[in-house]
Structure 1
Amino acid sequence: MSLADQVLAVNDDLPIRTDKPVHSGKVRSVYWLTEEDSQRLIKEKGYNVKSDSPLAIMVISDRISAFDCIWHGKGGLKGVPGKGAALNAISNHWFKLFRENGLADSHILDIPHPFVWIVQKAKPVKIEAICRQYITGSMWRSYEKGEREFCGIAVPEGLERDQKLPELLITPSTKGILEGIPGVPAVDDVNITRKNIEDNFAAFNFSSANDIAYYEKLLKEGFDMISAELAKLGQVFVDTKFEFGYVTDAEGKEKLIYMDEVGTPDSSRIWDEAAYRDGNIVENSKEGFRQFLLNHFPDPDILLNKDRMDERFALARDNELPLESLMNLSKVYTEIAEKITGQKIHLSDNPKAEIIEVLREQYDLID
């Protein structure tokens, strides 16, 4: 069994029964179930959703995305061993904690396999809800160039790189291209202010203006909860991205929930606390891999400059990364997941065959 076989790189070719095209993102693929299968599972499994809610199977992969590209390694390695299972395990852990502590539910209804979620269809809020407790990364680069206002929030003079901010900053950006919002360019991932959201709440898919304060509350409470738990493990929660959406429960009540993933090394920066106290940054997140890529290639501007996307895609397509770089990243993902969840991350010999078997035997979803 080679290492490449243990990696689930292609996840949009599973024989899951569906009558819609499979949506394949950078890391996850989504299979929308037929109306019959959705209704059958809601009934059989007792999911707390409306009886006619559309359900989907979401399958994670071990693909590694950075700077909007998918990277691969020598020896035919098309992903990072253990990455998919680690990301799902971490998200599952935080979502469960949020639910148990009365914050909000998530889009996940069931977890048939470490790579698989059964999810309900949500109406997504079109905001990448980013919050920052430390000044680093792109925010530091802008601050260094003299910027003192971020998403409409003024930050003080005299801050130093990687310093803790006086308060948790909410710096949202657009999710997808939104047309016709005054003052908001129609491009993906553009920074927005709270006033932009208040003035155009419906365009961002909020059901009411009051939900803006509620999403901020869930954001802060979620951040604080993960931060407190990570502190117990000697880790610093630096910044993260949350996503939200609306679903309707079995009683017909609409509610705002967490969706996508939370508190993972892909969506967050996590630092080792002891190293940070000594003035060093040790990344327990994907950020270390981004830094590796910036140092690995002679012209890092290709990775940072959005005007050079064609060159960037070519870089990712034409370069096999050293095996060591992907194995180091595997260690980062699996070790932080095991720390957070207290459970071992097992590398499956054949993840695809396992997924097919469980979805056939326990859910009757394989043709």
Structure 2
Amino acid sequence: MSLADQVLAVNDDLPIRTDKPVHSGKVRSVYWLTEADSKRLIQEKGYNVAPDAPLAIMVISDRISAFDCIWHGEGGLKGVPGKGAALNAISNHWFKLFKDNGLADSHILDIPHPLVWIVQKAKPIMIEAICRQYITGSMWRAYEKGEREFCGIELPEGLQKDKALPELLMTPSTKGILKGIPGVPEADDVNITRKNIEGNFAAFNFSKAEDIAQYEKLLREGFGVISNALDAVEQIFVDTKFEFGYVTDAAGNEKLIYMDEVGTPDSSRIWDKQQYQLGNIVENSKEGFRQFLLNHFPDPDILLNKDRMPEREALARENELPLEALMDISKTYTGIAEKITGQPINLSDNPKKEIIDILSTQYGLVD
């Protein structure tokens, strides 16, 4: 059994019954179930959703993306062992904690396998909801150059790199390309202000203006729940990205929920608290992998400069990263998942076969 066999690198070729194209993102693939299978599962499993809600199977891979490219390692290793299971376990843990604390539900209805979610279709809010407790990364780089206004928020003078901000900041950006919103460029991932959202709430997919305050409340409270839980295991929640959407429950009520993933090393910065107190930044997130790549290649500008995308893609395609680097990332992901959940992350010998067996025998979704 080779290490490469234990990695789920390709996740868009499973024989799951679907009548729509499989949507494959950088890390997850989404299989929309047929109308008949969705209805059957809702009835059989008693999911709290509208009887005609479209359901999907979401399969996470062990691929690793950074700087908008997918990277691979020596020995045919097309991903990071344990990464997918670690990300799902962390998200599952936080979503459950949110529910236990009375915050909101998530899009997840069922977890058949450590790499698989059954989700309901949500109407997404077109906002990357970013929350920051420390000034670091892109915000620090901009601040250092003299910028003082972020997403309509004025920052004071005298802030220091990697130090706590005076208060928790919400700095939203666009999710996808939104058209016809005054003052908002038609580009993905551009910073926006609360005024932009208030003046154009329908364009951002909010059902009503009051829901802007609700999304901010869920963002702030969700951040607080994760931050407190991480503090208890000697970790600092530095910043993160949440996503939200609307679903309808079995009684026909529309509700705002958390979706995508939350509080993971892919969507957040997490620092080791003891090391931070000693003056060191030890990343328990993907940021460590980004730093590795910047140090590994002689010309880091290729990774940072959007105008050099073809060169960057060639770099990712043509370079096998050292096995040791990918195993370091594996240790980071599985280590932080085990700290957070208190449960071991077990590598599967043949993840694809396991997934097919479960979806076939327990859910009747494989022809």
**Aligned-pair CA distance for 1:307:** 1.3
Q: For residue 202 of structure 1, what is the aligned residue in structure 2?
A: 202
Q: For residue 217 of structure 1, what is the aligned residue in structure 2?
A: 217
Structure 1 unmatched runs, 5+: none
SS of aligned partner of 1:328? helix
- Whichever residue aligns with residue 264 of structure 1, its letter is T
- Whichever residue aligns with residue 145 of structure 1, its letter is K
Runs of 4+ in structure 1 over 6 Å off? none
**Aligned-pair CA distance for 1:133:** 0.2
* Distance (Å, rounded) in 2 between the aligned partners of 1:314 and 1:180: 35
Q: For residue 280 of structure 2, what is the aligned residue in structure 1?
A: 280
Q: For residue 97 of structure 1, what is the aligned residue in structure 2?
A: 97
**Aligned-pair CA distance for 1:54:** 0.2
Q: For residue 186 of structure 2, what is the aligned residue in structure 1?
A: 186
Q: For residue 167 of structure 1, what is the aligned residue in structure 2?
A: 167
Q: For residue 14 of structure 2, what is the aligned residue in structure 1?
A: 14
* Distance (Å, rounded) in 2 between the aligned partners of 1:306 and 1:187: 13
Q: Any idea what the Cα deviations from partners look like across 1:261-311, whole Å, max 9, x if unmatched?
A: 000000000000011111110000010000000111111111111111111
Q: For residue 145 of structure 2, what is the aligned residue in structure 1?
A: 145
Q: For residue 123 of structure 1, what is the aligned residue in structure 2?
A: 123
* Distance (Å, rounded) in 2 between the aligned partners of 1:291 and 1:349: 30
Q: Any idea what the Cα deviations from partners look like across 1:171-204, whole Å, max 9, x if unmatched?
A: 0000001111111111101110110000110000
SS of aligned partner of 2:311? helix
Query: Are 2:59 and 1:66 equivalent residues in the alignment?
Result: no
Q: Any idea what the Cα deviations from partners look like across 1:190-246, whole Å, max 9, x if unmatched?
A: 110110000110000000110001000000000000000000000000000000000
* Distance (Å, rounded) in 2 between the aligned partners of 1:197 and 1:327: 42
- Whichever residue aligns with residue 69 of structure 1, its letter is C
* Distance (Å, rounded) in 1 between the aligned partners of 2:78 and 2:31: 22
* Distance (Å, rounded) in 1 between the aligned partners of 2:143 and 2:293: 23
SS of aligned partner of 2:98? helix
SS of aligned partner of 1:346? coil
* Distance (Å, rounded) in 2 between the aligned partners of 1:300 and 1:134: 25
SS of aligned partner of 1:186? coil
- Whichever residue aligns with residue 239 of structure 2, its letter is D
Q: Number of aligned pairs?
A: 367
SS of aligned partner of 2:347? coil
* Distance (Å, rounded) in 1 between the aligned partners of 2:185 and 2:299: 29
Q: For residue 326 of structure 2, what is the aligned residue in structure 1?
A: 326
**Aligned-pair CA distance for 1:343:** 0.4
SS of aligned partner of 1:242? strand
Q: For residue 38 of structure 1, what is the aligned residue in structure 2?
A: 38
* Distance (Å, rounded) in 2 between the aligned partners of 1:59 and 1:321: 25
* Distance (Å, rounded) in 2 between the aligned partners of 1:320 and 1:61: 19
How does the TM-score come out when normalised to structure 2? 1.00
Greater shift, 20-29 or 294-303, is seen at: 294-303
**Aligned-pair CA distance for 1:152:** 0.6
* Distance (Å, rounded) in 2 between the aligned partners of 1:355 and 1:361: 10
SS of aligned partner of 1:261? coil
- Whichever residue aligns with residue 203 of structure 1, its letter is A
* Distance (Å, rounded) in 2 between the aligned partners of 1:146 and 1:163: 17
Q: For residue 339 of structure 1, what is the aligned residue in structure 2?
A: 339
Q: For residue 253 of structure 1, what is the aligned residue in structure 2?
A: 253
Greater shift, 306-315 or 95-104, is seen at: 306-315
Q: Any idea what the Cα deviations from partners look like across 1:328-356, whole Å, max 9, x if unmatched?
A: 00000001000000100000000000000
Q: For residue 268 of structure 1, what is the aligned residue in structure 2?
A: 268
Query: Are 2:295 and 1:295 equivalent residues in the alignment?
Result: yes
* Distance (Å, rounded) in 2 between the aligned partners of 1:217 and 1:306: 34
- Whichever residue aligns with residue 114 of structure 1, its letter is P
SS of aligned partner of 1:255? strand
Structure 2 unmatched runs, 5+: none
* Distance (Å, rounded) in 2 between the aligned partners of 1:162 and 1:310: 32
Taking only aligned residues, the RMSD between alpha carbons, in angstroms, comes to 0.4
- Whichever residue aligns with residue 163 of structure 1, its letter is K
Greater shift, 294-303 or 44-53, is seen at: 294-303
How does the TM-score come out when normalised to structure 1? 1.00
SS of aligned partner of 1:325? helix
* Distance (Å, rounded) in 2 between the aligned partners of 1:310 and 1:245: 34
* Distance (Å, rounded) in 2 between the aligned partners of 1:210 and 1:276: 39
* Distance (Å, rounded) in 1 between the aligned partners of 2:181 and 2:68: 25
SS of aligned partner of 1:271? strand
- Whichever residue aligns with residue 111 of structure 2, its letter is I
* Distance (Å, rounded) in 2 between the aligned partners of 1:302 and 1:318: 14
SS of aligned partner of 2:299? coil
**Aligned-pair CA distance for 1:118:** 0.1
* Distance (Å, rounded) in 2 between the aligned partners of 1:347 and 1:203: 43
* Distance (Å, rounded) in 1 between the aligned partners of 2:96 and 2:198: 30
SS of aligned partner of 1:226? helix
* Distance (Å, rounded) in 2 between the aligned partners of 1:350 and 1:40: 28
* Distance (Å, rounded) in 2 between the aligned partners of 1:7 and 1:164: 37
- Percent identity over the alignment is 83
